[in-house]
């Protein structure tokens, strides 16, 4: 299953942006659960700073890959079959696989309380 490398990398970029968004959504939830006193805890502040750092790193990786992808010749191809077989999340596997255009594997618009059985 050979695919154009720049297209594969752009799908990875899209997934990284999704991951950053999902991580970013954790912080306000922690603040809601912990209330104002969470800001008084040094350990809690370290956790919140860690969440911010994870978002920044994820977005940084996405931008790095996006930027170098622009310099990769479009005729470069890679076999993604083995790599896709190692991805355990079905929706992510579909998003990273052939025929998908920069889609999102995460259902970003799901209502609270929705869940998937696995």
pLDDT digits (tens, 9 = 90+) for 16-37: 999 999 999 998 888 888 887 8
Residue 64, domain member (yes or no): yes
Q: How far is CA 56 from CA 16, 20, 60, 68, 102, in A?
A: 11, 8, 6, 18, 20
Q: Is residue 113 part of a domain?
A: no
Q: Is residue 90 part of a domain?
A: yes
Which residue in 75, 76, 80, 86 sits closest to 100, CA to CA?
80
CB proximity list for 76: less than 8 A, separation 6 or greater: 4, 5, 6
pLDDT at 109: 55
Q: Residue 105's pLDDT is what?
A: 54
Q: What pLDDT is recorded for position 87?
A: 93
Q: pTM of the predicted model, to two decimals?
A: 0.78
Q: Quick check: is 91 in a domain?
A: yes
Q: What are residue 78's DSSP bridge partners?
A: 3
Residue segments in the chain with a per-residue pLDDT below the cut of 70? 99-118
Residue 14 inside a domain? The answer is yes
Number of domains in the chain: 1
Domain extent, residue 44, equals 2-96
């Amino acid at each position: 299953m050979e695919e154009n490398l720049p297209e594969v990398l752009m799908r990875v970029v899209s997934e990284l942006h999704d991951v950053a968004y999902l991580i970013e959504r954790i912080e306000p939830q922690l603040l809601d659960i912990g209330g104002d006193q969470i800001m008084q805890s040094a350990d809690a502040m370290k956790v919140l700073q860690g969440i911010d750092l994870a978002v920044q790193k994820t977005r940084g990786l996405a931008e790095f890959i996006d930027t170098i992808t622009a310099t990769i010749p479009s005729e470069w191809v890679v076999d993604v079959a083995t790599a896709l077989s190692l991805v355990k999340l079905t929706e992510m596997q579909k998003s990273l696989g052939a025929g998908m255009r920069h889609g999102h594997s995460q259902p970003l618009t799901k209502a609270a309380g929705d869940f998937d059985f696995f």
